[in-house]
Structure 1
Amino acid sequence: MPEIAPIGVRIGKYLDVPTAAKGPPVDPKKGYRLQDLGDGLYMVTDNIYQSMLLAYDKGVVVIDTPPTFSSHLPEAIKEISSQPVTHVVYSHAHKDHIGGTHSLGGTPIIIAQEETAWRLKRDNDPDRPIPTVAFKDKYTLTVGGKVLDLSYHGVGHLPGNIFISAPKQKVLMVVDTVFPGWMPWRRFAVAQDVLGSMSQVEEIANMDWKTFVGGHVERTGTHEDVDTQVAFYHDLKDAAGQALASTRPGEGVDAADMKNPWAVFDNYVDRVVVQCVNTLAPKWQTRLAAFDVYIWDQCFSMEQTLRIE
């Protein structure tokens, strides 16, 4: 098993990114890549963040505006349409996905779930304009014969994070929930509800779509990618549960520290996490890109979820 650095410890080199996790390269002169998803729908990405564009006869709908490449969005839009941006859809409230909206110019209609609208009103961030349309459970946007179905499936990554479906193109976009070919970002992508996020990944696996857009990484996803993440999450939950059941607090702690409950408990949690990491590494270290970068975070998060939630 290769060296896997605990949080805060750096090693000489991380594991190589598997070829299967990589996507087509981005032209450095452009700073973005367009991928045709069919019938006027495109993914635009810098191979770190992803958004979507839907072109129709009178305009363009933009789904998310990541600041990492938002300055390139007007250029990308010109590649697919000469029409103005008429609508913006927010996947959720996080600034790293919608903080570039002003780069689009104009006054498009902004659509989001109610929780997202509430958070943006609270935060009063000029980089994240407040939605003009807020929905509770479902909203269908129909423009020029093109359809986007927006739906809210409860708390997972963040309250207000929605599913965005293009039914004709058989494309599903759910941001910060599935990471095709990759280990999810640290601590289940900082999910506010870990078990809720896991349930949503399983829900995505059972839905009818052909292409998945997750908001991150180098490529779009397949059902096989989603099934792989479901399997990893099941193994992670099992490994953390077994470690919790077989680890006793206080074992190996210096007798002089036994009256320090913080030290005793920190030692206990660390040993649970070490066992979790060691259980998962042989099977998963070569299957998920950046396994070694965030596996400690995932085991810490699952340990806490199972123990106190």
Structure 2
Amino acid sequence: MPAIPAIGDRTARYMDIPEAAKGPDVDPAKGYRLQDFGGGLYMITDNVYQSMFLVYDKGVVVVDAPPLYAAKIQQGIAEVTDKPITHLIYSHAHKDHIGGAKAIGGNPVIIAHAETARLLKRAADPDRPVPSVTFQDKYTLNVGGKKLELSYFGNAHEPGNIYIRAPEQKVLMVVDVIFPGWMPWRRFAVAQDVPAVFAQVEDIRKMKGWDTLVGGHVARTGTRADVDVQAEFYADLKKAAGGALATTKLGEGMDPKDQTNPWALFDNYIDRVALQCVNTLTPKWATRLGGYDAWIWDQCFAMEQSMRIEEG
């Protein structure tokens, strides 16, 4: 098993991407691809970011506008309809998912959770207009006989991050929580509440009424099996970090003079906990998740921090 370089160490080459993590290719001339879910619902992606749009009798509802390809969303829509964009739904406030709101053109009604509106008012970013329609718990958008159900289950990734479900197509979009076939982005996708992220993964596993998951990132959509794999990895990660916390002694092997420096004491301790966590997980998971070697140290550091500080 190849060694996993620590944070800050450079590697000559990252590990190969497992076949299970790969998706359909993007036409380089377009810079995006479309995936038809039926009933007027499509995913548009550059195989790094994912957004959706829903075509109805009078227009188009767009869900998220990542700035990397937002200028091409109209081009993608034009492949299937000449109707205008009438609505834009924000999954949450992060700029990498909605910073192209202006670039999609038109003057759509913008819908988001109230927490997203609060964060965007604070940001005062012209690339992310403040939504004109907000909600607290649930909101259903009915347009021309088409339906999108928006739900909020609390802060995990960040306040205001919502679930978007298309019941007719059995598609669920939850951004920055599930990463089908891949190691999640660093530190649980920079989650604000790690235990809540774990809880949301379990909620998605149990939620009925969906077959296809749009996670907002990576090269393909997800399945229930993908959610099971991520939940299994998280369970193993928590067990590995817990075992490392239980067996690593504070200050062991350090110069006695450094033990009077509390920052050095804990830096040494946390590094050794993370190392044991990484070494425990690598034999099973290194070849199962795309990008494992890129972010496994981050996940072990974040898991250690959460268990030691948040869970005790």
TM-score by length of 2: 0.98
In structure 2, what is the Cα distance between the partners aligned to 1:130 and 1:71? 19
The answer as to 2:57 corresponding to 1:61 is no
Match of 2:277 in 1: 276
Name the aligned partner's letter for residue 207 of structure 1. Answer: M
In structure 2, what is the Cα distance between the partners aligned to 1:84 and 1:232? 42
Match of 1:111 in 2: 111
The answer as to 2:238 corresponding to 1:225 is no
Name the aligned partner's letter for residue 39 of structure 1. Answer: G
In structure 2, what is the Cα distance between the partners aligned to 1:106 and 1:264? 56
Task: Tell me by how many angstroms 1:144 deviates.
Answer: 0.6
Task: Tell me by how many angstroms 1:11 deviates.
Answer: 1.0
Match of 2:215 in 1: 214
Q: Decide which moves more: 72-81 or 41-50.
A: 72-81
In structure 1, what is the Cα distance between the partners aligned to 2:117 and 2:8? 36
CA deviation map 1:143-174 (0-9, x unaligned): 01000000001111000000000001000000
Name the aligned partner's letter for residue 126 of structure 2. Answer: P
Match of 1:245 in 2: 246
Match of 2:257 in 1: 256
The answer as to 2:6 corresponding to 1:11 is no
Task: Tell me by how many angstroms 1:207 deviates.
Answer: 1.3
Match of 1:88 in 2: 88
Match of 1:303 in 2: 304
Match of 2:289 in 1: 288
CA deviation map 1:60-111 (0-9, x unaligned): 0000000010011110111121110000000000000000011122211000
Task: Report the 3-state secondary structure (helix = DSSP H, G, I; strand = E; otherwise coil) of the residue aligned with 2:79.
Answer: helix
CA deviation map 1:208-266 (0-9, x unaligned): 21100000000000000000000000110111011001111010001221211111111
Task: Report the 3-state secondary structure (helix = DSSP H, G, I; strand = E; otherwise coil) of the residue aligned with 2:61.
Answer: strand
In structure 2, what is the Cα distance between the partners aligned to 1:76 and 1:184? 27
In structure 2, what is the Cα distance between the partners aligned to 1:110 and 1:81? 21
Match of 1:123 in 2: 123
Q: Identity over aligned residues, as a percent? A: 65
Name the aligned partner's letter for residue 144 of structure 2. Answer: G
Task: Report the 3-state secondary structure (helix = DSSP H, G, I; strand = E; otherwise coil) of the residue aligned with 1:104.
Answer: coil
Task: Report the 3-state secondary structure (helix = DSSP H, G, I; strand = E; otherwise coil) of the residue aligned with 1:280.
Answer: helix
Name the aligned partner's letter for residue 62 of structure 1. Answer: V
In structure 2, what is the Cα distance between the partners aligned to 1:248 and 1:14? 32
Name the aligned partner's letter for residue 77 of structure 1. Answer: I
Q: 4+ residue stretches of structure 1 with deviation over 3 A?
A: none
User: How many aligned residue pairs are there?
Assistant: 309
Is contact 1:74–1:103 with CA below 8 Å preserved after alignment?
no
In structure 2, what is the Cα distance between the partners aligned to 1:238 and 1:201? 17
Task: Report the 3-state secondary structure (helix = DSSP H, G, I; strand = E; otherwise coil) of the residue aligned with 1:24.
Answer: coil
Task: Tell me by how many angstroms 1:190 deviates.
Answer: 0.1
In structure 1, what is the Cα distance between the partners aligned to 2:5 and 2:255? 25
Match of 2:97 in 1: 97
Task: Tell me by how many angstroms 1:299 deviates.
Answer: 0.3
In structure 2, what is the Cα distance between the partners aligned to 1:105 and 1:185? 30
CA deviation map 1:166-209 (0-9, x unaligned): 00100000000000000000000000001101110111111121
Is contact 1:149–1:164 with CA below 8 Å preserved after alignment?
yes
Name the aligned partner's letter for residue 262 of structure 1. Answer: W
In structure 1, what is the Cα distance between the partners aligned to 2:12 and 2:101? 39
**RMSD of equivalent CA atoms:** 0.6
Q: Decide which moves more: 248-257 or 57-66.
A: 248-257
CA deviation map 1:20-43 (0-9, x unaligned): 110000000000000001100000
